[in-house]
Amino acid sequence: MIRVLLADDQALMRAGFRALLDAEDDIEVVGEAADGATAVELSRQLRPDVVLMDVQMPGLDGIEATRRIAVDPTLTAVRVLILTNYGLDSYVFTALRAGASGFLLKDAEPTDLLQAVAVVARGDALLAPAVTRTLISEFVAGPPAPEPAAGRDVLTAREQEIVELVARGLTNDEIAERMVISPLTAKTHVNRAMTKLHCRDRAQLVVWAYESGLVTPRRR
């Protein structure tokens, strides 16, 4: 059973998400929050698998709430899925830096929402190749990033190569094909890199790759 916490300041939006999610046999909505501070508090109380987090909420916004959840050592199993009305705007990359595992448009199809919850709940990032490319362009346009805590020297040459491919938007299967290894081996390398770099998931690995300078954005 996937346990979900809804965080959105619009009651009607929360009701719609709840109706959709509660209709699934393997998903349970365990709580609702109308602001970021309540989302953080309920995350600590309820320990959901996934928090559907709106960005713009009164008081503590969704990005800061995501950051507080991500740095809390008692909430390492909680994943945050950012909800936005605006697509790939400036909030999205900031939210990923803060610790979000992905994002979803509020007007997404119901099946996309259900799939997103399942993907994030199992510890993967909701970060398709097309999304990765757009995030890269956002990174190029934005201000310089701070130097990440972990440097490239903690990774082996093979791990650096694989992280670069992740940052370019390749899936584990595509990495396996490119490097002539099995998908399981590719996944193992990705997981080891995330452990060494203290990245929560694949989304954080992409952020690290660009902030560390391992991958240089290709300017148009």
Contact 174, 100 (CB under 8 A): no
Which range has the top average pLDDT, 22-26, 104-108, 127-131?
Answer: 22-26
Calculate the CA dihedral of residues 9, 15, 20, 26 and round it to 10 degrees.
Answer: 80
Beta-carbon neighbour count of residue 185 at 10 Å?
15
pLDDT at res. 129: 47
Q: Which residue intervals of the chain bear CATH 1.10.10.10?
A: 142-212
Tell whether the model's pLDDT for residue 15 goes beyond 80: yes
CA–CA separation, 191 vs 148, rounded Å? Answer: 18
> DSSP alpha helices (H): ranges in the chain?
11-22, 36-46, 62-71, 90-98, 110-121, 129-141, 157-167, 172-179, 183-197, 202-211
CA angle 106–107–112, rounded 5-degree value: 85
C-alpha–C-alpha distance, residues 152 and 44, integer Å: 33
Q: Which two tokens stand for residue 63?
A: 């990005």
**Burial call 147-174: b when 16+ CB within 10 Å, e when fewer:** ebeeeeeebeeebbebbebbbbbbbbeb
Q: What architecture is domain 142-212?
A: Orthogonal Bundle (1.10)
Superfamily, domain 2-126:
Response regulator (3.40.50.2300)
pLDDT of residue 220: 45
End-to-end Cα distance, the chain: 45
User: What pLDDT is stored for residue 170 in this prediction?
Assistant: 82
CA distances from 178 to 152, 181, 183 (A): 22, 8, 11
pLDDT in the model for residue 127: 60
**107 against 23, higher pLDDT:** 23
CATH 3.40.50.2300 in the chain, residues? 2-126
pLDDT surpasses 80 at 141: no
